[in-house]
């Protein structure tokens, strides 16, 4: 039976394939979770969602200022299934949706089953996409809206209809609320928009430099160029900037800090995660620090050589090549601005999505289809290996942990079980017991605790009073041990005054009841 007879490119068949892919991801995600795999981001969302649904006290600040807010809200719908698996379910289904969107575009433009099967193979076996789907992180949303943003830009290039720019602007807004660092992407679109405006002028001259000279020398053309450039800037950038300004005002109103969603460990998981990753790298003399000495662009090309191949096919389209170069400049900028943290894996994955988009746009126009398909298959196979290599040798402990769990089936059981160990002990305490906890650093323990109502947490009004006089509010207190790398980011550490001066200043006497390498639980006598 031929591929055409089974109508693999029809809408129904595509939906079935996507559903099977989602099931595949869900099984992999469940197996990893059952092994004890977790990451800081997904557990952070679990803890905040549980506070909203199960906690007591004023929770509007938690609901509105937890960042990034779109991935946080994406876990809500799946909390009813299993709170601990909600981020994993969301990422599995979200990655399947990304496949469906790209596959749908392939069936419309290319109408060749080879490209669809190749896409399916990449989504099945590429370690980076498996990491996106099964980790429970928000990478799937970043890839979806990054893809939609660039799809609409390329649609504008072919149709010259500003409607697509408006849609791209909306996608950029959502992308910013999935990962705020993409705000810096707008910097590199400023010269690109100017180039697009020059190319859109109705002139016989084809070379960009001469078109620009003619536009500057002619008052009418100069006026038209200024109007077009300004209009595109307004359409593309005003909505994202206005959205960020409004959100910062919301932070200022509710938290007295415009950057609360960026700088508070109670709002975002990245603050302490970046510091922890930096500390771990600094403490490990054998850590991979190639990002210091090697240009990030070279690493991107090594990770996704297909993007260079596709740029070659766009060589006669100046502003389309500039569009493809923009993410390179963006990632290089991130490396310079956030020099204390390694470039996250998701910023390499955006080039894989961008390369696939280039295939969709240019694939049908390539004359030597057989040679192109063979080369494409080989490059995709190579990229699956580079995807694995980059994860396995990543500077990020979390990324290495995923590949160790997924491929090598190995986890550091002591680290994986430590937070659950402490949470299980708290779960065994009497029902009405009150435990003072700082979830800036202990949110994993809070997420695994059965009774959230029994915890006194920073979002509650009585937390400040409990910190000053803990014996009057709680029967137990959870503090970090001296070995905990996050001990310097919380008041509830081994240097907490009630621990140092138990019999002075009316402090209650404490008794150590349970201890792990990074945590100590005390009971007030």
Complete DSSP assignment for 304-328: -THHHHHHHHTTT-HHHHHHHHHHH
Q: How many CB atoms lie within 10 A of CB 223?
A: 11
Q: How many CB atoms lie within 10 A of CB 132?
A: 27
Block residue for tokens 């002028």: 201
| Dihedrals phi, psi of 522, to nearest 5 degrees | -115, 150
Q: Angle 50-52-53 (CA atoms, 0-180°, nearest 5)?
A: 65
Task: Please give the pLDDT value at position 1.
Answer: 40
For the segment 371-395, what is each residue's pLDDT rounded down to a tens digit? 999 999 999 999 999 999 999 988 8
For the segment 498-510, what is each residue's pLDDT rounded down to a tens digit? 776 665 445 567 8
Indicate yes or no: pTM above 0.85: yes
Please say whether the beta carbons of 304 and 355 come within 8 A. Answer: yes
Question: Residue 279 is encoded by which pair of tokens?
Answer: 């500390």
Whole-number Å distance between alpha carbons of 224 and 289: 49
Stretches where the chain sits below pLDDT 70 are 1-10, 199-217, 279-294, 412-416, 500-508
Residues 6 or more apart whose CB falls under 8 angstroms from that of 369 comprise none
Strand order in the sheet with 455-456: 455-456, 435-436, 476-480, 519-524, 510-515
Whole-number Å distance between alpha carbons of 21 and 23: 5
Q: Which H helix or E strand runs over 281?
A: helix 270-283
Q: Which H helix or E strand runs over 219?
A: helix 219-255
CA neighbours closer than 13 Å in the CB half-sphere of residue 135: 26
Whole-number Å distance between alpha carbons of 411 and 404: 7
For residue 160, CA distances in Å to 163, 211, 228, 239 come to: 9, 18, 12, 20
Block residue for tokens 């979390």: 398
Start-to-end CA distance of the chain, whole Å, equals: 77
Q: Quick one: which of 448, 441, 453 has its CA closest to 488? A: 441
For the chain, how many residues are written? Answer: 525
Whole-number Å distance between alpha carbons of 177 and 196: 27
For residue 477, CA distances in Å to 105, 490, 496, 502 come to: 55, 13, 11, 13
Task: Please give the pLDDT value at position 74.
Answer: 94
């Amino acid at each position: 039976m031929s591929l055409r007879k089974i109508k693999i490119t029809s809408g129904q068949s595509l939906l079935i394939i996507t559903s099977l892919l989602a099931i595949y991801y869900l099984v992999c995600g469940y197996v990893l979770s059952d092994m004890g795999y977790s990451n800081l981001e997904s557990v952070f969302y679990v803890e905040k969602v549980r506070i909203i649904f199960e906690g007591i006290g004023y929770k509007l600040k938690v609901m509105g200022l937890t960042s990034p807010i779109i991935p946080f809200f994406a876990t809500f719908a799946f909390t009813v299934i299993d709170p601990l698996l909600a981020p994993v379910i969301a990422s599995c289904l979200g990655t399947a949706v990304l496949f469906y969107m790209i596959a749908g575009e392939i069936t419309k433009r290319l109408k060749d089953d080879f490209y669809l099967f190749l896409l399916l193979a990449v989504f099945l076996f590429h370690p980076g996409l498996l990491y996106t789907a099964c980790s429970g992180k928000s990478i799937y949303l970043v890839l979806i809206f990054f893809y939609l943003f660039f799809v609409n830009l390329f649609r504008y290039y072919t149709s010259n209809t500003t409607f697509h720019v408006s849609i791209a602007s909306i996608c950029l807004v959502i992308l910013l609320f999935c990962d705020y660092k993409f705000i810096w992407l707008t910097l590199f679109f400023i010269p690109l928009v100017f180039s697009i405006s020059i190319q859109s002028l109705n002139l016989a001259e084809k070379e960009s430099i001469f078109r620009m000279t003619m536009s500057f020398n002619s008052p009418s053309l100069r006026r038209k160029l200024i109007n077009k450039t300004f209009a595109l800037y307004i359409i593309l950038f005003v909505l994202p900037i206005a959205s960020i300004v409004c959100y910062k005002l919301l932070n200022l109103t509710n938290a007295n800090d415009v950057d609360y969603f960026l700088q508070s460990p109670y709002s975002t998981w990245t603050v302490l995660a970046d510091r922890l990753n930096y500390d771990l790298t600094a403490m490990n003399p054998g850590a991979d620090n190639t990002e210091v000495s090697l240009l990030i662009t070279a690493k991107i090309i090594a990770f996704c050589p297909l993007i260079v191949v596709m740029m070659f096919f766009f060589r006669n389209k100046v502003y389309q090549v500039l569009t493809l170069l923009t993410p390179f400049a963006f990632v290089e900028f991130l490396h310079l601005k956030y020099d204390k943290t390694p470039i996250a894996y998701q910023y390499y994955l955006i080039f894989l999505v961008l390369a696939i988009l280039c295939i969709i746009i240019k694939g049908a126009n390539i004359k030597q289809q057989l040679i192109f398909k063979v080369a494409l298959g080989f490059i995709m196979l190579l990229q699956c290996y580079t995807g694995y290599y980059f994860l396995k040798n990543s500077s990020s402990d979390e990324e290495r942990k995923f590949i160790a769990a997924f491929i090598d089936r190995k986890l550091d059981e002591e680290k994986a079980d430590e937070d659950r160990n402490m949470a299980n002990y708290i779960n065994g305490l009497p029902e009405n017991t009150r435990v003072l906890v700082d979830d800036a650093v202990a949110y994993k323990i809070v997420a695994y605790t059965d009774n959230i109502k029994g915890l006194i947490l920073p979002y509650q009004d009585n937390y400040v009073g409990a910190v000053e006089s803990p014996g009057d509010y709680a029967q137990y207190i959870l503090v970090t041990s001296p070995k905990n790398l996050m001990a310097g980011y919380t008041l509830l550490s081994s240097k907490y005054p009630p621990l140092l001066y138990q019999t002075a200043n009316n402090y209650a006497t404490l008794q150590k009841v349970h201890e792990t390498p990074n945590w100590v639980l005390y009971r007030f006598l």
